[in-house]
Each structure stands twice: as structure tokens, then as C-alpha cells.
A and B are shown apart, each in its own frame.
Chain A
């Protein structure tokens, strides 16, 4: 019998039940979705690294390592495997594509996995193993011949296999590049035998090491083994590792922030709604009690409602969560463009299942709590209808203005204050909606203004020429500078204390490169000090006017530098003028040229060229990743707003049903009554928007720190963003207001006033 009642009750409160299921579904779905996102990355990225022997440390020596060096490293206690390694950017013959020509002596370190074709053979002196992604994009398959140009020689051979490599999981050929371009860039592995056949001796500037040793120990032991200190890069600084883990951290942050809002709203809505339902069921609860049903039996009956909602919600949530997870992490997603890895199966952290179960328990407990308070005391007491708290006079009523308010305004004010939890929930819903909108549009604004401020203001050249530092003599470089009327830069590794940064020396006669700070304000490169980037300033605790010491890698050179200003920079770098470098007597070799020419003739000393447009394009596709997220967040927050407000709206409507009917009887028109209801909605929305804006800015600040501290972004929110977010929030609130208030046409006055409650 009670089961029939359950079904009918659900039918009666259809709208509430559906909106609660959606709320729970959204909460669970977003929780699972975001956790699936980072967990999937974690598992699959780890697998990709494991499969291809991703190195833990890279020992770097611009002058190359000998076979003896390798033996010494291999014999270090705690080193599992080591391999001499070479990776150079080379152009494809008669093409603009740049691929990374790679040799790893010991393929179990920084190697690859063959997806198609024949396995790697270290003695194969002809074949190439080429990036599967690049090959697919360029219509290359196993057996085709591929040709590169390296040191003015043609490196050509049949493709033996299509492969993936952890080393090139994020395949960037250029440090200012943010997104890989799989059509133009890839990597090609050849064997040491191949190199030997082509150029005789291979020059290996790196030794890759697999080892569990901590960094300090590693540094000490390498120094002991080789008798000299070398730059040692641990995997945290390698793009593929750092960025893939950055994505996981982002995912974890989002998973920790966003779902909390939704789950909180779901649980709070559940409590308010179940409270409301049990109020209107109070006499029924009393009746059941007086009929002789035990409290426990009745509680069990009502727990079934909570269980019904949370199970339906959870099912919906799991589907949604998998959907969201897949949406973010699949080979065809923006993430799939970013990460080149083999496996994309979705994974879910085990504990998230426990959390979902806990959410269900909490929801059922919330239901029980609401019902239990309705059946306190004897059956007779339970039979009495719910008596709302007595009205008390409020401070505002003592003010003069109160008297002049219309009755509708007074009624609304009292209604808001009387149903505090409902009003609070409404406000919370609107604030959340506004907050998510502001934060997500704000990310977009911030990124766009970063592009505008930084890229547009700072990069004034048309083409950047990357020099081959082994080939380029000073005279050759000077000739190139003359020929292309170029500016130039030199980059070297330096240490401040334990930390490694880049030091860049600039010769900027034509101002093809400029420095900016804040919102794109231009700073000149001083001749008596250096610019440091915001991140170095923060990490090293440096202010303008401070002096600090850098030591150049692989040398004993040390310089004391004065901070002249703090600038924005893509990489973590110290920037100085050639004049200042000259004063200090720094030894440097020019590594890159900036020019306004677009036609750059091929030359043995040029390793690659890159246009500003190409750079901008990669940044644009990076923002696409953000845009996908933003579109989803906007959609979700609008949906959230509608569901929460609608649920509370019909609750408020049900609570005031008798009062509304009375107003109708007294002679108020439907339109008038609608306006009163919409007015209340409007006030709450205005308040919610006013609170939501600073809250959104706050969340955005946190997000920028947590998600994008690598990019020296300056928080920017455009007026249009405030406008759109406010308009959307008001739109949502207005639509819901109209939806709810239209119901008052259907108020049956006779019916509403017939039974004296």
C-alpha cells in the first residue's frame, strides 16, 4: 500500500523530483567527469612513459659525450639504464615541416613503441621509425621513403615503423610554441648504425638516464663519475612530462573546486525540498502514525524517496560523468591534439566511487532528517498541520520608509526573511551561476588579453631564424644579421642558487622584440641592469633594485646582476641587453635572429625558421582548449541556474499557494500576482549578481594561480563579460520567474480555500 503512495507522491511532486534528480545528476556527473579526466590522463600518460622508457634525468653537455662518459654513468650505483641521446630539429626536404631527428643509443631509454611496421633494429643502417601522428597527417605509411636535411646532407630512408614516444608526447619543436602541430612537426628515430653510415661519428649532447635516485644524489654521483659538473635536467622540466602533469593538476584542481559547488547545491536543494515535501505530508505522516504505523516504518517509507532520487541521480550522473570525461579526454578532443599517446581508455579513481556512495547516504540522511522533524512527539501532535514560525517584527519595519512600501513589497520582503533556507538556496544558486559565468568568461578574457598584450606588443618581427650553433661561426652570423637587417638573441642556461633558468642576451637595434609588463606596457631593455620574469621574481623573492648572482652552466662564470624591472616572459628567463652583457664581459653565442624578412634562404647554419603567424596560430589552438571548457561551463551554469531556481520557484509557489489564492479571491489580477512573484525573483537575482561578481573574480584569481601560474597572466575581465554574465543570469532568472508565475493562472480559488487547514 505504502508503495502505491510512494508512486503517487512522486507523481504529485514530479517537477521537484525531476529537478532534484537533475541536480544530483549534475553534481555526481561533474564530480565524476572531472575526476575521470585527470585519472585517465594519469594512468594513460604513465603507461605511455613506461612503454617507451621515459628518462628520469638528462645530462647535458653542448660539447657532446664520449662512449667512456656513458660507461661511467652506467656504472653509477642506482642508475638502471643510460643512453647517449641526440635530438635535433631538421627540415623535411623541400618542405617547411620540421621534424626532430632522434638517436637513442640504448633504445630502452627514451625510446618508442612501434604501432605498425617492423620492430626497432639498432643495426639497421637505412630505415626510419617515424611519428605515427605525423605520418598519418601527411599520408605516409610503412615502406614509403622520407627525406630530411641535416648538416646539408640528405637523411633519407624507408619508413620501417610508425611509432609513439613518451619523449615526444607533447611534440613541440620550438619553446614559444604552445600547441603541437602534427601536420608540420613530428619526430624520426634512426639507429646509431644509420648515423654512422651517414656521418661517421655521432655527436651526442645528452645522456638520458633511468634512475630512482633523488636529484641531489644524482648530481653528486654524476659529478664524481665524470669529474666535472654538468647541467642535469630532471623529468619535471621536460615539456612532455611537465605539461602532461600540468594537465592532471588542472584536472585535479577543477575536480576539487567545481563539483563542490554542484554537490553542495544538490544536497542543500535535497534538504530544502524534502523539508517542503514533508511539511505538506505532515498530516499524512500523522495519519500513518495514528493508524499504528511504527516510526521506523514511516521513516523507511520516506527514506525510499531520498533513495529513489539519489539512485536515479547517480545513474544519470555516471552517464554524464563518463560523457564529460570522454568529452575532455579522447584522441579527437583538444587534449588528443595536445597529447600524442596510444591509450585513451577512461579511468576513474577508486575513491570517487566511495564518495558517490557517500553522497547517496548523505542524501538519504537529509531526507530522513527532514521527515523525522515532522513526526516528533505523539501521533496527535504529528497530526496537526505544520505551523510555520511566528512572524516577528524586523528592524526594517521600524524605519519610516517601511510604511510607504506597497503591500507587495512588504509581502515579498517578509517572505524572503521567513523562508530563510529557501531564500538562501535561491541566492546560492544565482551566485553560483554568476560566479561560474564570470570565472569562465574571465579565463577567456585573460588569455585573450595575454595574447594581445604580450604577443602583439612584444613580438614585432615577421620571422625568427634559429641558428645551428655548432655550424655557425661568428662571421657567418654577422653576415646573416647584416643581410636580413636582423635583431638577435643568445640564450644560455644559468643557475640562481639551485634553480635553473635561461639567461637571454638581446641585440635589438630594430626593436623587433620588445619587453612588456602588466597590461602590455612597454619597457626598454636597460643597459645597467636586467629584466627578470614575474616567476623568477616570485620564486627567488627579487624586487626591482635587488642584486642577485647567476652562474652559467658548465662553466665557472658567475655574474652579479641588478634587477632593473620585472617583465612578462614565456620562459623563465633573465633578460639583458648586449651592452650590459658587454660591460659584464659575458661570453655568449647568438642563437636566434629576428627579422622583418619573410623569405629566408636555406643555409647550413640555419636550423629552422618560424613566422610570427605560425606562433600565433599555435597559441590560438591552445586557447581552443580553454574555449571548450568555457562553453561547457557556461552551459552547465545556465542549466544549474534554471534547475535550482525552478525547483525553488515551484516550492515557493506551493508554499504561498493559499496566499496567492486569497489575493486572487480578494480581486488581484493574475498579471499583478505574477509581477509580485517576479519582483521577488528579480531582487534575489540583483543581490546574487552583486555578490556573484566579486565571488567570480575571487575564484578566477585562485584558478589563475592554480592552473596557469606558468603563463604570467594578468587577470583581465572585460566589460562585455560582466554584461553577458549579468544578462545570462537575469535571463535565466527571468525565464524561470515567468515559468513559475504563469502557473498562478491555474490556481483554483475554490479548491485552494475549501479545506480549512
Chain B
């Protein structure tokens, strides 16, 4: 992606703290820092991979962008008619036309489709909500959408239970496409699918991106899934993005120790790499009680005393390569050999 391409979405210092309530009066006794100051941008037509372990705040980031829950702090700028608008400042009414521009694909192909609606009703819902089509016109559009995602249009009167996981995911994709959005947040769209179906679904998403000129924020919990589909990749740990770079750059030349560990976990056919897998000591700390300083320090094999007290700054190290680590310059970390 050339840097000339305009930015479609920019997230600035996004924070989301969930209150922890306990006791009879449900007093707030603490908070979960699900997203703790995240900044990134996505250019038009680009795919940004967002990767991190379970619970690190990927879903919350995606949902804050769509205003599913109000963020604690931060800004979300979206390009609308050539101008950037902070969508967090819009009223519900002002937001509605913008909802046509951004959609979401869910991880769970079961929870994401209403079991009581036919495929026709599910896929046409966005069009009906925005009053864009009705009657025969609506049906024709649904038929077109189903064909676009590789489903048989004559099955539109069936209920979700008649479909396999992969097919259900396609129904969800058809629904997301219905309003011809520009941005789609794909929240682990293939994690719940069989490995053989995963590849098909990823290919479909890539084809659709070309066909409809889509921009993706593609969330995944390991680097192998986003490897081929992403232009750039952001690595998230405990509510923070710790590294962001062009995909090849990050895979070959990681700058953050956490990225290095994730990369070493990618299964390779080459047996040498298996032995080099870095196992992170300990568990992911709770986002309700994150470690001070660099949140990664209890599990980092390069940690220094400074890491325990001082929070590393989010900085641009090379061309388009961002990282948050005190020792980014001095360490030479191992990426992946593409030979």
C-alpha cells in the first residue's frame, strides 16, 4: 500500500475500562483495562491485521470503533465525503448514515445469525433498517449478495440451522456486505471454522476486498492467519499495541520481544524452526491488575530493571515501523526466514 492512499480510519489513544462491580450495591471496586491507549490508522483498501492472545482487547477495540460500547477515552476518525470526522462525537442520528460505511463480521457463526430468521431475512435486514429496498428489489439484492459470497440463492428461505459453520460465516459476510460498506471489521472470522474451510473463507474475503474495494481491520489471535491477508500487522498485548509494521517487515524483522515469541509459534514445515519455538513463561496477567512499567516485563526474557518501572513509549523506529519497547534498537530479534 502506498502512503499516498488516503487514510480511512484513524484511532487515537483509544481507551476502554470496564468497571468491576461487587457487593449488594454494585459499587465499582476496580476496573478492567481492556483497551489501554491504542493508536493506529488504516488506509483505504488496506488490510490491517490485529493480533494478540485471548483477552488482550482486540474485540473491545473493534467494538469501540463501531461504538458498540462507549470508549472511556480517545478518538475515532473516519473519512466521510473526503473529510475526517470523529465518530465518537456524533449523535445516534448523525451516526446512522455512517453505519452504512462500516460493518462487522463475527467470530461465532452460531451466535451471529438469528436462528428464527430465514437467510433472506438475515441478509436483507441492513437494507430494511436503512429502508433501501423492498419487495422484489430486496429479493434481487439478497440473491446477488448470496451469489457474491458463493451461496445458492435458492436456499434463501432456509433457516441458519440448515447450514454448516463455513456457510453460516458466508451468510454473515453477505449481511455485512449488504450496505456496500467501505470498512469491515473482521473479528476472528475463521477461528471457529475447520482448517480446510478457513482457507476458503480467507480467499473469499480477499476476493471480496478486490471486488468491492473494501478496507479490513482483520482480528486474529495468531500471526499465521493474518500472514497472507494483511498489508500491515499490529501486535497487541494486554490492551496495548506493542508493535505495528508492514507484514513482511514485521515477520522478518520483529522489533518487540512479544512479536518474536508469537512468530516462533507459527508452525513451519521446516523442522529446525519447531525446536526454536519460544515458550513464554507464566500466564497472561489479568487486565484488571496489569503489571507496572512495560506490561510484558514479567514474561520478557530481555527485561531490564527499567522495564519494571517505566512504561515504554509508542514510537516510530523505522519507516512505518512502530514499536513500544525500551530496548528495540539494541536487540536483534529472530523473525521468519522466507526461503
Same assembly = no
